[in-house]
Chain A
Amino acid sequence: MNNAEMPRRPDEHGVPDPFPYMHPTLRANYGNWDWHERPRPGVLHHVAKSGDEIWTVRAGTQRQMDVGTIRKLCELADEFADGFMRFTTRSNAEFMVTSADKTEPLIEKLNAAGFPVGGTGNSLSMISHTQGWLHCDIPGTDASGVVKSLMDELYHEFTHEEMPNRVRMTTSCCQINCGGQGDIAINVQYTKPPKINHDLVANVCERPAVVARCPVAAIRPAMVNGKPSLEVDEKKCICCGACYPPCPPMQINGPDSTKLAIWVGGKHSNARSKPTFHKLVAANLPNNPPRWPEVADIVKRILYAYKEDGQAWERLGEWIERIGWPRFFEMTDLAFTKHQIDDWRGARSSLNASTHLHF
């Protein structure tokens, strides 16, 4: 066999060893840090047991970056941070510098290049980000656009630490909810059952798998126009979109039927209270690119009510826990509807079995 035509076998490296890519001060003090403080928003100061110190400057990015943007970040890392940098789980870039003097000039250059510095402590960090219309095969909306629009409006809350505690926002372009749980989550919520293209189902979809995928058993096999297809019991259908990924002819998205919903009070950390899921507070908002103003309006109402009324260290969900849901809906001028009373499995545990009431 001609070796030149043999495809190359992969080297199965797995997860790369980070030590060659880690800032030397971090490498030297691995596992031996002593304490930290935040000298200003966007800057962390860590002190190691050895006495070594490192200042981290955190900058927001657009996540979907062209090579030019990444090379710009590299230039700054070379100039200030010894040629190393890292990213946070929320797509913030972090530059580690070995002297406090370097932080201000680095911040100036980051700002001049269009990167906001912040996202530390009790600020709003970058909104966790899914793919959307740019690359996903099932999206109801565009994550990059929603995130950009909101971060433009909430820029001050990224660059300042003025919230009661940290705020973690998320977006999701379908109800699978890749964006995860958040203090405030902006997620697609479908409002109509799938529209089925019966000509394609038999060829494209593995029908038993699609039937099995439905959470409420609303899909059954059927012959339509003489072709094997699927039908949906629209009275049972909860419009979740679970059938759409395994069966694209069951189109769940529509320009007007795909809506956005807002959820609040999700929390990952174990600090104080146990982790929590976010809860539905608004739905049926229009999917309105390029700037989704109806979404931004409600997000700001919630965020600023929390900023105003939350006590130090209370996360958004803990704030609501204290003031109660009636006051939350009053302060945000949002509606509480029958759709916010859960009827999914385990729902009874979300009902109030006490006389603990808020008036």
Chain B
Amino acid sequence: MTKKTHPSPLLDELKSGPWPSFVDGLQRLAEDDDKPNSDMMKDLVGQLEHSYETRKGYWKGGTVSVFGYGGGIIPRFSEVAEKFPESSEFHTLRVQPPAGMHYSTKLLRDMCDIWEEHGSGLIALHGQSGDIMFQGCTTEKVQPAFDELNKIGLDLGGAGPALRTSMSCVGHARCEQSCYDEVRAHREIINGLLDEMHRPALPYKFKFKFSGCPNDCVNAIHRADMAVIGTWRDDMQVDQEKVQEHVAKVGRKQMIDTVVAMCPTRALSLNDDDTLDVDNRSCVRCMHCINVMPKALSPGKDRGVTILMGGKRSLKIGDQMGTVIHPFLKLETDEDFETLVEFTEECIDFFAENALEHERIGETIDRIGLANFLEAMDVPVDPNMVNHPRTSSYVRTDDWDVEAAKWFEHKKAKAAAK
């Protein structure tokens, strides 16, 4: 006998209005009685309506996994299963999308077919960490659903105290501002550390995010334990004719108000012939002028990445942004990529060995002090790592000369390498 749908007057109010409604989709799945999971979706809509009525959530976690892996499944058991038995198990499979979230329609359709057969038919594109979230699966169906997804080339993402799924911006694939091969960095780093994702054994989560330029479209500084952000260290490229065209189009006042006056380090000046003077040693590569004039201005040619570490959300010491660990790493040759991958492995090892339980790497660095972390990672100190030198005199400096000698030695080595 066909199961009846629960009335959902509150959710129904979210069906009106111009923005696409998730409620339409939930109800379509619930009403498609030919599909194996329409009953599950009927009760899911019932439970969600119950949440809207009572203003409370009714899911609890548990333990569900697939053979060979310890993470990647988010178990959800209903606390109101007696009322809504068919959706008593409603687990999510976190699955890593192709880097940059590119899809062929074939891949999307295969995902839909598999999820219609084994799961609820509800897919979130994408979660905040960048996973495809296949939402709504019984415990029994988790393994067959994963097997089918795995056979078409997809793999589970991270959950729990583990390396998490990563995200990279569209970058090289469609953006002229991209300063490194994001796909390559994303895949080489994450795929080199997969064991840490699939078999959770770290003190807490660890997230990487990859942005091609300082516009940081994947929000890496705020959201990643390690942010890999494209930049350059030579002069910005300026096409003076196109600068003049831009000024002719928008007028001098707008050019001065929106470009010259908004430069954070006063590194720009408009010449009398409407060409642009750039003080490149003062430029901090913020991207603003390039964003305003993408035809006339572009990043320099000596490109690489800045690494920032320690970004995280509130728990437990409050929100933190990542701070600079490597001001610049060249990222072009195979060796450059190897150096970066090795650095990430060292960081993960250090995190595994030294972080306290439930401590993010930013909290560890805070606890031991940045200088100690740098020493452990064998990264030389650099004034780019601070807003300004310390203002407190409460520090012991008897080995100042030794440290100063290191600075001058490092400076000499850097000059020799150039």
A, B in one complex? yes
Residues of B within 8 A of A255 (CB): 54-56
A22-B100, A148-B22, A275-B221 given; A65·B214 CB < 8 A: no
Contact status A17-B57, CB under 8 Å? no
Residues of A within 8 A of B154 (CB): 13, 16
Residues of A within 8 A of B112 (CB): 67, 70-71
Contact status A67-B115, CB under 8 Å? yes
Contact status B357-A145, CB under 8 Å? no
Contact partner of A73 (CB less than 8 A), chosen from B96, B108, B214, is B108
Contact status B60-A137, CB under 8 Å? yes
Q: Chain A: which residue is nearest B62 at the CB level?
A: A137
Contact status A31-B128, CB under 8 Å? no
Q: Is B86 among interface residues, defined by CB-CB distance under 8 A?
A: no
Contact status A175-B22, CB under 8 Å? no
A67-B112, A268-B219 given; A85·B121 CB < 8 A: no
Contact status A180-B155, CB under 8 Å? no
Q: Mark A324-354, 1 if CB is under 8 A from B, else 0.
A: 0000000000000000000011100000000
Residues of A within 8 A of B11 (CB): 290
Q: In the bound complex, what is the Cα–Cα distance between A36 and B176 (angstroms)? A: 8
Contact status B109-A71, CB under 8 Å? yes
Q: Mark B283-324, 1 if CB is under 8 A from A, else 0.
A: 011111001101100100000000000000111111101000
Residues of A within 8 A of B105 (CB): 74, 77-78, 83-85
Q: Mark A73-98, 1 if CB is under 8 A from B, else 0.
A: 11001100001111111010000100
Separation in Å of the A10 CB from the closest CB of chain B? 5
Contact partner of A14 (CB less than 8 A), chosen from B21, B59, B190, B215, is B190
Contact status A20-B104, CB under 8 Å? yes
DSSP majority for the A interface? loop
Contact status B214-A13, CB under 8 Å? no
Q: Chain B: which residue is nearest A178 at the CB level?
A: B128
Q: Is B99 among interface residues, defined by CB-CB distance under 8 A?
A: yes
Contact status B13-A35, CB under 8 Å? no
Contact status B155-A10, CB under 8 Å? yes
Q: Mark B117-142, 1 if CB is under 8 A from A, else 0.
A: 00001111111101000010000000
Q: Chain A: which residue is nearest B143 at the CB level?
A: A7
Q: In the bound complex, what is the Cα–Cα distance between A136 and B58 (angstroms)? A: 9
Point out which of B122, B214, B317 has the most chain A C-beta atoms below 10 A from its C-beta. Answer: B122
Q: In the bound complex, what is the Cα–Cα distance between A177 and B102 (angstroms)? A: 27
- Among A100-108, A126-134, A218-226, A300-308, the stretch that binds chain B is A126-134
User: How many residues in B have their beta carbons less than 8 Å from beta carbons of A?
Assistant: 126
Q: In the bound complex, what is the Cα–Cα distance between A91 and B97 (angstroms)? A: 13
Residues of A within 8 A of B386 (CB): none
Contact status A33-B176, CB under 8 Å? yes
Q: Chain B: which residue is nearest A34 at the CB level?
A: B176
Per the 8 Å Cβ criterion, residues 44-60 of A in contact with B are 46, 54, 56, 60
Contact status A33-B175, CB under 8 Å? yes
Q: Chain B: which residue is nearest A135 at the CB level?
A: B135
Q: Is B107 among interface residues, defined by CB-CB distance under 8 A?
A: yes
Q: In the bound complex, what is the Cα–Cα distance between A139 and B319 (angstroms)? A: 19
Q: Chain A: which residue is nearest B263 at the CB level?
A: A272
Q: In the bound complex, what is the Cα–Cα distance between A131 and B169 (angstroms)? A: 22
Residues of B within 8 A of A207 (CB): none
Contact status A12-B155, CB under 8 Å? yes
Contact status A137-B57, CB under 8 Å? yes
Separation in Å of the B320 CB from the closest CB of chain A? 9
A18-B99, A272-B288, A313-B292 given; A115·B51 CB < 8 A: no
Contact status A10-B102, CB under 8 Å? no
Q: In the bound complex, what is the Cα–Cα distance between A355 and B155 (angstroms)? A: 57
Q: Is A282 among interface residues, defined by CB-CB distance under 8 A?
A: no
Residues of B within 8 A of A253 (CB): 56-57
Q: Is A294 among interface residues, defined by CB-CB distance under 8 A?
A: no
Contact status A209-B175, CB under 8 Å? no
Q: In the bound complex, what is the Cα–Cα distance between A337 and B57 (angstroms)? A: 31
A271-B286, A313-B258 given; A66·B181 CB < 8 A: no
Q: In the bound complex, what is the Cα–Cα distance between A178 and B174 (angstroms)? A: 28
Residues of A within 8 A of B260 (CB): none
Q: Is A123 among interface residues, defined by CB-CB distance under 8 A?
A: no
Q: Is B52 among interface residues, defined by CB-CB distance under 8 A?
A: yes
Q: Mark B198-219, 1 if CB is under 8 A from A, else 0.
A: 1000000000000000111111
Per the 8 Å Cβ criterion, residues 132-150 of A in contact with B are 132-142, 144-145, 148-149
Q: Is A270 among interface residues, defined by CB-CB distance under 8 A?
A: yes
Separation in Å of the B80 CB from the closest CB of chain A? 12
Contact status B128-A15, CB under 8 Å? no
Q: Is A116 among interface residues, defined by CB-CB distance under 8 A?
A: yes
A12-B194, A89-B219, A268-B222 given; A65·B147 CB < 8 A: no
Contact partner of B128 (CB less than 8 A), chosen from A18, A68, A71, A180, is A180
Q: Is A203 among interface residues, defined by CB-CB distance under 8 A?
A: no
Residues of B within 8 A of A27 (CB): 173
New A-B contacts (20) at CB < 8 Å, excluding given A64-B135, A269-B216, A345-B318: A7-B67, A7-B68, A15-B166, A15-B191, A22-B102, A31-B181, A33-B174, A35-B298, A65-B122, A71-B108, A84-B102, A84-B105, A86-B100, A86-B170, A88-B170, A89-B130, A180-B313, A270-B215, A271-B291, A290-B10
Q: Can you sample 10 A-B contacts with CB below 8 Å?
A: A13-B150, A46-B176, A64-B26, A70-B108, A87-B126, A115-B20, A135-B59, A149-B14, A213-B358, A344-B318
Question: Interface residues, chain B, CB within 8 Å of chain A?
Answer: 10-11, 13-14, 16-26, 28-29, 48, 51-52, 54-61, 66-69, 74, 76, 90, 92, 96-109, 111-112, 115-116, 121-128, 130, 135, 143, 146-147, 150-151, 153-156, 166-167, 169-170, 172-176, 178, 181, 183, 186-187, 190-191, 194, 198, 214-219, 221-223, 254, 257-258, 262-264, 284-288, 291-292, 294-295, 298, 313-319, 321, 357-358
User: What are the 10 A-B residue pairs with the smallest beta carbon separation, nearest first?
Assistant: A152-B17, A66-B25, A14-B191, A7-B67, A18-B98, A133-B51, A270-B214, A151-B19, A255-B55, A67-B112
